[in-house]
Chain A
């Protein structure tokens, strides 16, 4: 199981690096088209307190809490 975890996390990291190199990241959306992607409703975990509070509550009721992803929107608007 531990080896599986490490393998999957590494595979996800490698996929994240290689997929854009295959062309899916560079051409998808031009900078001038990112108005909607920059909106706060399109940002994952825009409110860190809300996200951590949700996780906190779930961790006390569910055996599977944690690991819902990271914040950010990938809009490249930073």
Chain B
């Protein structure tokens, strides 16, 4: 099963943007996240195990090298047909995705420039990305300006539907072959499967400003343009008596503006954090989120952080509740069963505990100047909203996705070790 393309785009660009951070020391980090979601349908929940490892080293005063690897091991239940009763089409699946990044950086006293190349591969999705970022501390060293850009050349395995119209197309299945050349390039099998192109251009501008000795602010503008095949090739949508492959627009322009604020509280040896973000795109998904956090030192070696976030988005213009696709057909040319394009509200609550060990004269474990071990846990509460009138929806919207109806929708656990040497 193809993992979400946005995951590849977001995660890879995150690596590019983060690489713009000027780090004082050589660094290594290893972590693993486990995401467990409850689902209906009798095929179990959804579990994602996401290990990450990265390693950075300075070569002399001006050059740095970075290498990173991450993977996703996904297993659980999914629904292959978006319909009023999606549970009846629930099926089991599993897949693994691998991603590797190599980075090269040049840095001076107040500025740095980084370049990276990322390769992501899974059975039915290939991603090749190049990116660069630059940051500079402006005179006075109270302002940092960072710019980042990346381009992804992605390929998505799809059923070869020839000249069939969108409402006649068949979806890809797990039994269909997705051939590759050299393991990293798609190879078509005419009449059976072919690889469709998707290009992703992403740009971000960030300004970080010290406002006082205890407060700093960051403003970011983010834009992304996606061109190409963006449907999930496996997903079908029930339209009348038929279930064609979902069909969504080939172009999507995305924009977000965010602001983050940190305030240190010297008397309490703690800090408060505020984060707000607005999002809009050409599919008319409009979203916003607000996050509050609090970090508290306990002694010199224990750091505890609590955070809470709320998020809400509107539906894409062509998204309809499954009942209406079934009884009234599509909203124009396009149709989708993607839950990410549905109206949804969620909340995240969590905490993180970090144990910090400073080496001093004697390195920690004989190697590290500073070593941090952390455990983090979040719970997600989800509220699925209706895209269309509930009054006329005889089937309701509760079962069009295979979410469970529990108070806690998902749990995330992360364990990590980060060392500076």
Q: Which residues of A contact B (CB under 8 A)?
A: 1-2, 4-6, 8-13, 15-17, 19-20, 24-29, 31, 33-37, 39-42, 44-45, 47-53, 55-78
Candidate in A48, A51, A64 with the most chain B CB atoms within 10 angstroms = A64
Q: Does B253 contact A (CB under 8 A)?
A: yes
A6 to B145, CA, bound (A): 17
A16 and B143: CB pair below 8 A?
Answer: yes
| A-contact 0/1 string along B197-208, CB 8 Å cutoff | 000001111111
A69 to B219, CA, bound (A): 7
A58 to B275, CA, bound (A): 15
Q: Which residues of B contact A62 (CB under 8 A)?
A: 287, 311, 313, 340, 344, 346
Q: Which residues of B contact A56 (CB under 8 A)?
A: 7, 10-11, 33, 50
Number of A-B contacts (CB under 8 A): 294
B209 and A69: CB pair below 8 A?
Answer: no
Q: Does B148 contact A (CB under 8 A)?
A: yes
- Enumerate 6 A-B pairs (CB-CB under 8 Å) in ascending A order: A9-B205, A29-B142, A29-B212, A63-B338, A64-B256, A71-B20
Q: Closest approach, in angstroms, between the C-beta of B2 and any C-beta of chain A?
A: 12
A-B contacts besides A37-B216, A56-B7, A66-B14, 5 pairs, CB < 8 Å: A29-B142, A37-B210, A41-B262, A66-B10, A67-B256
Q: Which residues of B contact A68 (CB under 8 A)?
A: 220, 222, 258, 260, 275, 277
A40 to B285, CA, bound (A): 35
Q: Does B360 contact A (CB under 8 A)?
A: no
B256 and A39: CB pair below 8 A?
Answer: no
Q: Which residues of B contact A (CB under 8 A)?
A: 3-4, 6-7, 9-11, 13-15, 17-18, 20-22, 24, 29, 31, 33, 35, 48, 50, 52, 54, 70, 107, 109-110, 133, 135, 137-148, 202-214, 216, 218-225, 253-258, 260, 262, 264, 266, 270-271, 275, 277, 279, 281-283, 285, 287, 289, 295, 297, 303, 305, 311, 313, 316, 338-341, 344, 346, 352, 374, 376, 380, 382, 412, 414, 416, 418
Q: Which residues of A contact B281 (CB under 8 A)?
A: 1, 63-64
A20 and B50: CB pair below 8 A?
Answer: no
B7 and A13: CB pair below 8 A?
Answer: no
A37 and B213: CB pair below 8 A?
Answer: yes
Q: Which residues of A contact B139 (CB under 8 A)?
A: 20, 25-26
A76 to B222, CA, bound (A): 24
A17 and B208: CB pair below 8 A?
Answer: no
Q: A28-B209, A72-B22, A72-B135 are in contact. Are A67 and B313 (CB under 8 A)?
A: no
A20 and B138: CB pair below 8 A?
Answer: yes
Q: Which residues of A contact B18 (CB under 8 A)?
A: 45, 48, 51-52, 70-71
A63 and B10: CB pair below 8 A?
Answer: no
A49 to B69, CA, bound (A): 11
A13 and B205: CB pair below 8 A?
Answer: yes
B212 and A28: CB pair below 8 A?
Answer: yes
Q: A12-B207, A16-B143 are in contact. Are A70 and B277 (CB under 8 A)?
A: no
Q: Which residues of B contact A42 (CB under 8 A)?
A: 216, 262, 264, 271
Q: Which residues of A contact B275 (CB under 8 A)?
A: 68
Q: Which residues of A contact B14 (CB under 8 A)?
A: 48, 51-52, 55, 66
